């Protein structure tokens, strides 16, 4: 199972690839999960959609390799 950090990276790459740059307001204090997700997505800055797709696949390969114990 991917760690929380890995899941946040997947979320941020997915959002960047499908919606583009994070431009909405940061969620408030009472939404800590929303804040973590927003922070992860916002940290990608101006990464292109194509770069985000490539990063998502690369991250998936790393996680799959860790889980299965072999390369892809």
Question: Where is pLDDT greater, at 17 or 67?
Answer: 17
Closest listed residue to residue 16, CA positions, set 43, 61, 58, 62 = 43
22 in Cβ contact with 36 (< 8 Å): no
| Spans of all domains in the chain | 4-68
4-68 CATH, one of 3.90.1580.10, 3.40.140.10, 2.40.50.700, 1.20.80.10: 1.20.80.10
Dump pLDDT digits (tens) for 14-62.
999 999 999 999 999 999 999 999 999 999 999 999 999 999 999 999 9
Closest listed residue to residue 14, CA positions, set 43, 59, 63, 53 = 53
The predicted structure's pLDDT at residue 4:
93
């Amino acid at each position: 199972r991917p760690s929380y950090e890995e899941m946040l990276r997947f979320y941020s790459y997915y959002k960047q690839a499908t919606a583009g740059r994070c431009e909405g307001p940061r969620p408030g204090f009472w939404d800590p999960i929303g804040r973590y997700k927003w922070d992860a997505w916002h940290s990608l800055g101006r990464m292109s959609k194509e770069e985000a797709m490539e990063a998502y696949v690369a991250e998936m390969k790393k996680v799959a390799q860790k889980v299965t114990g072999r390369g892809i």
